[in-house]
Amino acid sequence: MAMSIPPGEMIPPLPISKDLDDDFAKSLTNTIVIYDDDDEQTASTKENVAVAKNQLLKLVAEGRSVAEVLKEFERETNERAAVRSEAQKELATIYENGSPEEAKAYLEKINKAFNELGIEPISLPRQSK
């Protein structure tokens, strides 16, 4: 579920069942296959799930529980999304009340910082016609 959320968006609370560790162990026997007729989005999602599964396996091997890792992922993702949302609102305010140059300068500065932090970049608001 978390892999289907668009980058930069908040994710809803992840379901944490009492059998989560067992379910994860069982999932390790499933191979993720990308078929020739999978569209680009499906193939990309499958690749992301495979990467996440391997990262989760590594963390579990280090002694962490699946629930602990998922809760941390949810918290960090939502913190990044909140920061991104606030920056987008600030950019919109600058764009509406300042000059285009100020907005572009803010955009470049914030996106540089976001790039270093692994946060999806923001963009200038669309102009209404």
Q: What is the pLDDT along the chain (129 residues), one digit of tens a residue?
A: 555 677 778 888 888 888 998 988 888 888 999 999 999 999 998 998 899 899 999 999 999 999 999 999 899 999 999 999 999 999 999 999 988 899 999 999 999 999 999 899 999 887 654
Q: What is the pTM of this model?
A: 0.74
Cα(57)–Cα(64) distance, integer angstroms = 10
Could you please report the per-residue DSSP string of 29-91? TPPP---TT--HHHHHHHHHHHHHHHHHHHHHHTT--HHHHHHHHHHHHHHHHHHHHHHHHHH
Domain ranges of the chain: 16-64, 65-129
